[in-house]
């Protein structure tokens, strides 16, 4: 049964280099967290996918399952009042048993 994501097991991907997020995911997994949620929106989506793929293939080959991938969009209001839609992704990974 999947746990509800708490702030403790969520990695929010943004403007930093990919390896920072890879290190964050690996740190959570080494601390005993069974499930990590990698979230991103907009241009950072490709960086989130890269993060998960680097963890899966380079650092922990054969030890990680991708449980779920959710895609969607959010409406964001800019400072000048315009509303724009931004794509989002949420990737749930877990340790294999």
CATH classification of the domain holding 32: 3.30.110.20
Segments of 7-82 assigned E as strands:
10-12, 35-41, 64-77
In a domain, 3, yes or no: no
Alpha carbon distance 71, 81 (integer Å):
25
Alpha carbon distance 77, 64 (integer Å):
37
Least confident residue range of 6-10, 20-24, 54-58, 76-80: 6-10
pLDDT over threshold 90, residue 6: no
pLDDT over threshold 80, residue 85: yes
Alpha carbon distance 38, 34 (integer Å):
13
Mean pLDDT of 65-91: 96
In a domain, 88, yes or no: yes
Please tell me the total count of domains within the chain: 1
pLDDT confidence of 5, banded at 50, 70, 90? low
């Amino acid at each position: 049964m999947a746990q509800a994501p708490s702030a403790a097991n969520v990695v929010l991907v943004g403007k930093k280099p990919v390896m920072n997020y890879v290190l964050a995911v690996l740190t959570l997994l080494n601390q005993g967290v069974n499930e990590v949620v990698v979230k991103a929106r907009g241009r950072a989506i490709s960086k989130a996918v890269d993060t998960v793929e680097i963890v899966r293939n380079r650092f922990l080959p054969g030890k990680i399952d991708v449980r779920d991938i959710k895609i969607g969009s959010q409406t964001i209001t800019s400072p000048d009042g315009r509303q724009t839609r931004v794509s989002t992704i949420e990737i749930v990974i877990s340790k294999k048993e």
